[in-house]
Structure formats: C-alpha cells, structure tokens
Chain A
Amino acid sequence: MGKILEHKELTFLERTYIPEIIRGMIVTTKHFFRNLFNWKKIPTIQYPEVKQELSDRLRGKHRLMLKDDGSLRCTACFLCATACPALCIHITAAEHEDPKVEKYPIEYTVDISKCVFCGLCVEACPCDAIRMDAGLTLTTSYDRQKLNLTIDNLPLKLEKD
C-alpha cells in the first residue's frame, strides 16, 4: 500500500522566495556566528595528529581460536566464507592425519581490503574458531599482499587469552 503524498500549494509569500531565503539565511548565519565564536567546539577531529577514540564495543580484529593442544579449531567447513557478504575469506582445506579430525585449513586468508567488519563470519562459525576482538586492524597499506591476513599473521589465540 503506497502512501499518497499531498503536495502543499505554496502560499504567495513563499512563492516570492524572499521570506524563505531570509529564513534560510538566518539559520546559516546562526551557525556561522556560533562556530565563529566557539570554533573549538566544532566536532572536527584533526585526523593525523588526533585520532578518533574507538568504542570498546567495536569488533575489528580477526582472531583464529586454537584448541588446547595448539592446533587450529577451524574445521574448514566454509560456513564463514559462505556467510561473508564481502567474499573476503578464502579457505583451502586439507585432510588431517588424525582420522577423528575430518579436515583442517592449510590456508585461511582474510582479505582486509575487502572486509566490511560485519562479524557475520563469527556468527556463522559452528565451532567458535573465528572471533573478533576490540580495536581495528590496519586497513591501509602500500602493498596489497600485506592486507591479506593469513594463518601466519592473523592473531592466533587460546580461549583463555
């Protein structure tokens, strides 16, 4: 059911523009003088010198969880890669020597240059193998390869850490 918009006819004074223009100018003038005399209160952050404080609740650092014996918890089930809306997780699975363990990842790559930090991989993981920590990984680099986080340079952590 669509909503029918009623277009209001402009009154004569509105059609002359002048009172409305003056009204708009009063708004901008107020802003101008308020900021002119309190320019320290302007919410701009002077970026390279001052950095924005990140919220404690921000989850921006991928972390791969380890089992107690130090091996990866990940079973290479590809659920995170499927859930990922940015298609930034690339997994290569391999057969494990231990017959009780079905698969394990020999490559687990998170392409940070594509990642949107939505946390859906964490939601999707059935065995709690990937988590996200507070803070933000560095998302800029002169080298694209540095933005591909692999098992070697992803933080690997035990649950108690």
Chain B
Amino acid sequence: MLFRTIEIIVKLMIVIGCGLTLTSVLTWAERKQSALMQDRIGPNRANIFKFTLFGLFHPMADGIKMIMKEDFIPKKGIKLLHTLAPMIALFPVFLILAAIPFGDTLIIGDKEVHLQVIKLNIGIIFILGIASTAIFGTILAGYSSGNNYSMFGGMRAASQMISYEIGMGISLIGLLMVYQTAQLDVMVKMQGEMLWGFLPKWGIVVQPFAFFLFMAAAIGENKRTPFDLPEGESEIIGYFLEYSSMKFAMFFMAEFTEIVISSALITTLFFGGYQIPYLFETGFHFPWGTIIQLNHYTVVIIQTTGFALKVLFFCWLMLLLRWTLPRVRYDQMMNIGWKILLPLGLLNLFITGIIIMWIGTI
C-alpha cells in the first residue's frame, strides 16, 4: 500500500513537473520559434548577471511580472465566477495528463510500476470527457466579465469547442475499431506490434486519414491559430479581456498545456506512444535479423526518452502551424468543423468498418 502511494506521488510529480516545465518553456519557444521563422531574433534581453541563455529567463520574468500585476475584477462582473473561471479552465487540462502512458511497465525487484499515473480502462473516453469540460472555464470567463467582447469570445469558444469535439471523437472511433480497446496503455502496446513483419502498427499507419482529422480537430479544440477566433486579437480581445495578473496567466498556461496534451495525445494515439520501431522488451530486433540485446532499464529509458522527443516534435509542429497559417473566418471555421471534418470522419469510419469486415481484423 505504502509502495503504491509513493509510486503514485512520484509519478504525479514527474508528470506535473514535466508538464509545467514544458508549458513554461513553450511560452519561450513560441516567441523564439516565431522569431526565427520570421527572420527575427526574438526574446534575448532578460538576463541574470548579463547571462541571457538564449532568452530562457523570459518565462521567469513573465511569471514575476504576472504575480506583481494588479488582480482586477470588473465592477459589472460576477466576482465568484470571475475568480473561478481560470481554475476551471486550467484544472481539466492537468487531469488529462494523468491518463497518458509515458513509458512501459517498469519492473523494480518484484514490483511492477506502470509508467502512467492512473491506469484507466476508459482512457480515450476519459480524455474526451475531461477535455470537453474545459469549455466551462472559457464560457464562464466570458460570461462573468460583464463585457460584451468577452461574452463574444466566450460564445465563440463554446461553439467552436463543441463543434470540434465531435470531429475529434469521430476521428478517434476508427482507432477504437482497429485496436478494439479504449485503454491507452493497451493501445500503445498494440502499436508496438508489426504489420506484415516490418511496418510498425502505429496509428498513422492503420488510420492515416484520421490523423489529419484529429490534428485539425485538436488545433480547433486548443483555440490556436488558424482557429483562434475566441481570442482574435485584432477583432475582439477574447474571453480573457477582463483578466489580469495570475488569472490571465492561468488561461495562458491552460492554452500552452493544451499544446503539450494534444502533442502527447497525437503521439500516443498515432505515433506509437513510447514505442520505438523494432525496440522490444529484450532489445532491438530488426526485420533483417540483426538483434541488439539491451537490459530492461535501458529499454525503458530509451522508450521514455523516445516518448518525450516525439512530444517535443509535435509541440514544435503545433507552433510551426500556428505561425504559418492565417486565422480563418468564423463561418469558414464552422464550415470546416461541421461540413468537412464531420463527414470525412464518418467516411473514414465507414471505410475502416468495411476493411475490418473484409479482412477480419487489422
């Protein structure tokens, strides 16, 4: 019992620690990456004893600045909801991190440690359910600010998130049909198997179409460019217009943690999670017969590192997309959600169903 408690606390610390660190690094990475993409230098002024470390002190400086700012609640606002909204926005985001497996089972002595905070048998459904509660934070923020522009932002966010939730769910059903499980760790284990002996059975291989749908839906769900209508800096400031200080920072943290989560989800669902091609429990087994023996701990470390690198890559890709594409118009966004993503998702389901009926199973 004691071992289990310690195990869960340690895993929580690792996941929340890594998640939060990655979040704050992403605020730096977004500015730096956008700068490099636009032939600029980006943040490079914050320093400790003239030591700037490529501007990595900027997230810290931002944090200090945010804490020092006045915490403002508008007179016409609803005080309780206004205070509660950022917490509701941030909370589900961290909850999702708990369900993502970041490594295989680690065996210490005779104890098994699953490298996943909670082993859920309803993994995907849990994630979709929790992700949809993030709407409450944004719509409450818009509603309780007592400002029409905030309200607009909140309404836009709500309609957008509900629309893209459906596309997201439909694109994942194909995966559920292929792997016959909603359990994320089992799904990742199955992705380590080989298709025809050489092709890793990753989600992108068996459901290539669903990947694009999920990616689009995930960005829509994150409320980031090209779907950042709820913010829309140039038209309405968005649902956090009346927020300042740490409350504003919490919305921002929620947004950046959502990047981490959608990257982790894309990795887990479509890119084999912690699985690395040809790396099995005893080491590398290449299809041409070469075998490299590795002990258990090395394998687990390689797999966890692989997972981290994949997540980092997708974070990078998300930032790249955000700084490449312009914002779509509101009706275009709704069209993409309802008239493109949803029918294509259904079509994908239909074709997947036919193939599974035809060859039994994939």
Residue of A25, A27, A31, A39 near B321 (CB, 8 A) is A25
- B40 near A28 with CB under 8 A, answer no
Report how far A43 CA is from B35 CA in the complex, Å.
Answer: 12
A1 within 8 A of B: no
- B320 near A28 with CB under 8 A, answer yes
Report how far A39 CA is from B38 CA in the complex, Å.
Answer: 12
B351 within 8 A of A: no
Near B by CB (< 8 A), chain A positions 1-29 give 18, 21, 24-25, 27-29
Among A27, A29, A32, A36, which residue has the most Cβ atoms of chain B within 10 A? Answer: A32
Q: How many A-B residue pairs have CB under 8 A?
A: 36
- A28 near B37 with CB under 8 A, answer yes
Chain B residues close to A by CB (< 8 Å): 33, 36-41, 212, 320-321, 323-325
Chain A residues close to B by CB (< 8 Å): 18, 21, 24-25, 27-29, 31-32, 35-36, 39, 42-44, 46
> Which A residues touch B40, using CB under 8 A?
42, 44
B316 nearest in chain A by CB position: A32
- A39 near B325 with CB under 8 A, answer no
A29 nearest in chain B by CB position: B320
- Which secondary structure dominates chain B's binding surface? helix
Nearest chain B CB to A78 CB, angstrom units? 44
> Which B residues touch A42, using CB under 8 A?
39-41
Q: Which 3 A-B pairs have the closest CB atoms?
A: A35-B36, A28-B324, A44-B41
- Given contacts A28-B320, A35-B36, whether A21 and B325 have CB atoms under 8 Å apart is yes
> Which A residues touch B33, using CB under 8 A?
32
- A32 near B212 with CB under 8 A, answer no
20 contacts between A and B (CB under 8 A): A18-B212, A21-B321, A21-B324, A21-B325, A24-B324, A24-B325, A25-B321, A25-B324, A27-B324, A28-B37, A28-B320, A29-B320, A31-B36, A31-B38, A32-B33, A32-B37, A42-B39, A42-B40, A42-B41, A44-B41
> Which A residues touch B36, using CB under 8 A?
31-32, 35-36, 39
